[in-house]
């Protein structure tokens, strides 16, 4: 019987094949209490598991070939950092010693505790880092059982299936395979890289989970967050993965199969056609040059962004450098090397580095109880957090200013609202620069910019324009705060509406005011990578978009088809409407 389950679409394309089930370790953990004289043995078992994982990850990292996705090495580094971090091991030791949990129970109990801390984060990207921690713990559990991989990678491709060929094959003996798992770590995916898995489905994960990042980099159709996948799909079932719709179809009928075979062929043709746009200048029909930039999370993301056709980085989220370190922040030298790496990867193109967007909802300070903050999204976060810790903030500023000596850098500040915050921020930039001068350390010139991501900033945009060289509209938070919708809360997620007239009018006002001031403005939220929004944003006057690299060519196609002279009047009609989405559909 044909049925479908739904998850989160993270990597485009359609895969059709037979299901291979990956075993899950933590779901099968046995819970029991040990005797006091068994404490040392249980701690040793965990230590052995951790050491085995460290050795395995280091070996995988050392064996990375030149054709490995750029994202894999830093992701393996993150997992190495997590498995060696004291926040995991000290808690496990405590649970074994004080509560007499068996080793596996202590590991999963500590994992749950840390995951709750991640769940309380407001930032989606940082919240998704809990999946990395889960993957690391699963790996330790597997090694404690003497199993290094959740599923054996195929020795070779089935007959008749070549690398990159994922079409439906009539002969079932030659059918591609799709992987169904609770979750997959970057290391697991690396082991599967030479296999014939046409796509994969995981029960957990989010749009910015590392599983999703690697899937996009490897161009494998994938759906994550399909929570019932492991329970409802059986080994050897025929499965269709629709990576664009976030849908997984099990036991499809012949008619449905034929329909998806046709879609698969059409998508391949479309992707081949889009790939030819990579080196085409992004210019509208009426001659407007549009800047298409990449959002990146890791210092090593630059080459992939260049390969995707980006002409620079519009948003480098530096939070990744600070997370998962047990509250310890990276020093100036470590940050400097990371920012310099990002610049080197972009080969001379500009990189916009956003200062730390972290705070009350992030695990930097584990000493605070989790309910210390009444509402983390409205509390001490982003620039507020940085201004509350000027030493930490100046360290980051010095590192960025030093990196700017190696290439063009734009320095971006998140969540400013008050003019007092603006003045304080700029004073600290000057102080950091002075500190470098006193040390005779080279530094570069930077443009200064502000994120417009809360209504207060959008409504006072002219004040911001007095102080900053450029603005960047963070539409994800702007929508959240304008509509008072927690985008992570499933109970109200249906009210999260990018087409709400209030949101569109704020975006339009910021674009128009910035252009009138003769300054630059970019949109770096999800709205920039949504083809349904491209014509509207062009009509409102936007000329700079920053998005996930995989979305660049599709947006470029929309740009090449657009005539901004014709879009201006239409865009005004859209934002004046009570139902902008309805106008867009006409």
Query: Where is the binding site, in residues?
Result: 317, 354, 453, 476-477, 487
Q: How many C-beta atoms surround the C-beta of residue 500 within 10 A?
A: 17
DSSP string, 519-552: -EEEE-SGGGG-HHHHHHHHHTT--EEEE-GGGH
Instruction: Report the side by side order of strands in the sheet with 197-202.
Output: 3-6, 247-250, 238-242, 14-21, 177-181, 197-202, 222-224, 8-11
Catalytic residue among 26, 210, 406, 522: 210
Query: Taking Cα atoms as reference points, which of 536, 526, 512, 523 lies closest to residue 461?
Result: 512
CA trace torsion 479, 481, 484, 485 (10° rounding): 50
Residue 115 annotated among the catalytic residues of the structure: no
Distance CA 573, CA 577 (A): 6
Distance CA 457, CA 450 (A): 9
Residue 524 annotated among the catalytic residues of the structure: yes
Radius of gyration over alpha carbons of the chain, in Å? 25
Distance CA 503, CA 506 (A): 5
Distance CA 451, CA 475 (A): 10
Is the Cβ–Cβ distance between 91 and 124 less than 8 Å?
no
Does residue 364 sit in helix, strand or coil? Answer: coil
Query: Taking Cα atoms as reference points, which of 187, 192, 227 lies closest to residue 210?
Result: 187
Residue ranges for the binding site for Mg(2+)? Answer: 453, 477
Query: Taking Cα atoms as reference points, which of 341, 351, 348, 330 lies closest to residue 411?
Result: 351
Q: How many C-beta atoms surround the C-beta of residue 476 within 10 A?
A: 17
Distance CA 168, CA 135 (A): 31
Distance CA 566, CA 286 (A): 9
Distance CA 314, CA 430 (A): 23
List the beta bridge partners of residue 197. 177
Distance CA 317, CA 313 (A): 10
Residue ranges for the binding site for phosphoenolpyruvate? Answer: 317, 354, 476-477, 487
DSSP code at position 283: B
Distance CA 338, CA 239 (A): 41
Distance CA 472, CA 414 (A): 9
Distance CA 575, CA 583 (A): 9
β-pair type (351-354, 238-242) = unpaired
What are the catalytic residues? 210, 524
């Amino acid at each position: 019987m044909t049925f479908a389950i739904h998850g989160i679409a993270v990597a485009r394309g359609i895969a059709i094949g037979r299901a291979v089930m990956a075993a899950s370790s933590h779901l099968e953990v046995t819970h029991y209490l040990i005797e006091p004289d068994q404490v040392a043995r249980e701690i040793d078992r965990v230590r052995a598991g951790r050491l085995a994982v460290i050795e395995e990850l280091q070996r995988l990292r050392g064996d990375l070939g030149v054709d490995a996705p750029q994202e894999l090495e830093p992701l393996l580094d993150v997992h190495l950092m997590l498995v060696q971090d004291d926040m995991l091991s000290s808690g496990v030791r405590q649970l074994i010693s004080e509560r007499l949990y068996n080793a596996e129970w202590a590991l999963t109990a500590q994992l749950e505790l840390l995951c709750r801390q991640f769940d309380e984060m407001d930032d989606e990207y940082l919240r998704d880092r809990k999946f990395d921690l889960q993957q690391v713990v699963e790996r330790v559990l597997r090694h404690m059982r003497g199993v290094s991989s959740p599923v054996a990678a195929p020795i070779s491709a089935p007959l008749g299936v070549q690398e990159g060929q994922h079409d439906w094959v009539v002969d079932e003996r030659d059918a591609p395979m799709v992987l169904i798992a609770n979750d997959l770590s970057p290391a697991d995916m690396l082991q599967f890289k030479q296999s014939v898995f046409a796509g994969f489905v995981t029960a957990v994960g989010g749009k910015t989970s590392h599983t999703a990042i690697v899937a996009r980099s490897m161009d494998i159709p994938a759906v994550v967050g399909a929570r019932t996948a492991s329970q409802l799909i059986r080994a050897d079932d025929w499965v269709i993965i629709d990576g664009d719709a976030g849908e997984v179809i099990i036991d499809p009928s012949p008619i449905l199969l034929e329909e998806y075979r046709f879609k698969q062929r059409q998508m391949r043709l479309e992707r081949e056609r889009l790939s030819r746009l990579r080196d085409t200048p992004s210019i509208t029909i009426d001659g407007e040059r549009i800047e298409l930039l990449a959002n990146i999370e890791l210092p090593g993301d630059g080459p992939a962004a260049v390969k995707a056709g980006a002409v620079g980085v519009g948003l480098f989220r530096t939070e990744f450098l600070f997370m998962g370190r047990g509250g310890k922040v990276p020093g100036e030298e470590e940050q400097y090397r990371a920012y310099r790496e990002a610049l080197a990867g972009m080969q001379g193109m500009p990189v916009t580095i956003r200062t730390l967007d972290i705070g009350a909802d992030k695990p930097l300070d584990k000493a605070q109880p989790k309910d210390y903050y009444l509402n983390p999204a409205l509390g001490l976060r982003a620039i507020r957090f940085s201004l509350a810790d000027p030493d930490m903030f100046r360290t980051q500023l010095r590192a960025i200013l030093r990196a700017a000596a190696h290439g063009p850098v734009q320095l971006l500040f998140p969540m400013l609202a008050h003019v007092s915050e603006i003045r304080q921020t700029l004073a600290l930039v000057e102080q950091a620069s002075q500190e470098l001068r006193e040390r005779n350390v080279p530094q570069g010139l930077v443009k200064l910019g502000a994120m417009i991501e809360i209504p207060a900033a959008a409504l006072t945009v002219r004040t911001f324009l007095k102080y900053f060289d450029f603005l960047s509209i963070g539409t994800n938070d702007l929508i959240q705060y304008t509509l008072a919708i927690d985008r992570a809360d499933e109970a109200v997620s249906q009210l999260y509406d990018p087409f709400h007239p209030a949101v569109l009018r704020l975006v339009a006002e910021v674009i128009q005011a910035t252009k009138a001031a003769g300054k630059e403005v970019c949109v770096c939220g999800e709205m920039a990578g949504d083809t349904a929004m491209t014509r509207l944003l062009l009509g409102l006057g936007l000329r700079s978009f920053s998005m996930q690299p995989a979305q660049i060519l599709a947006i470029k196609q929309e740009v090449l088809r657009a005539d901004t002279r014709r879009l201006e009047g239409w865009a005004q009609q859209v934002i004046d409407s009570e139902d902008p989405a309805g106008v867009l559909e006409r």
